[in-house]
Amino acid sequence: MSDNNILDTRPKGDMVAVLRPVWWTEIAVGKIGSVVQLFHPDHGWLTFLFPPECANRPGLGLVKQSALCDYFAGTLPPPTVTVN
């Protein structure tokens, strides 16, 4: 399955989100990429490996979105979010 097909199946609309999730990141053994771990209350620790060519994308996206969150502060009541 291609990345585009997977993205087409992601959840959209109103959903409950984990507010301020616990997370951890470090470089992978062998320096093959960045490990990101997110803690989900129902599923425990979820671990993702981002190869070097992809590792900056989530961080860059979060930084850009945080600026928009500051701009639109208070318009969405947490922890309910709407995803487009």
Query: What is the C-alpha to C-alpha distance for residues 4 and 29, in angstroms, rounded to an integer?
Result: 29
* The pLDDT of residue 42: 94
- pLDDT (tens, 9 = 90+) of the chain, 84 residues, equals 566 689 899 999 999 899 899 999 999 998 999 999 999 999 999 999 999 999 999 999 998 888 887 777 766 555 666 766
* The pLDDT of residue 70: 74
* The pLDDT of residue 38: 97
Query: What is the C-alpha to C-alpha distance for residues 81 and 79, in angstroms, rounded to an integer?
Result: 6
Model pTM greater than 0.95? no
* The pLDDT of residue 28: 93
**35: helix, strand or coil:** strand
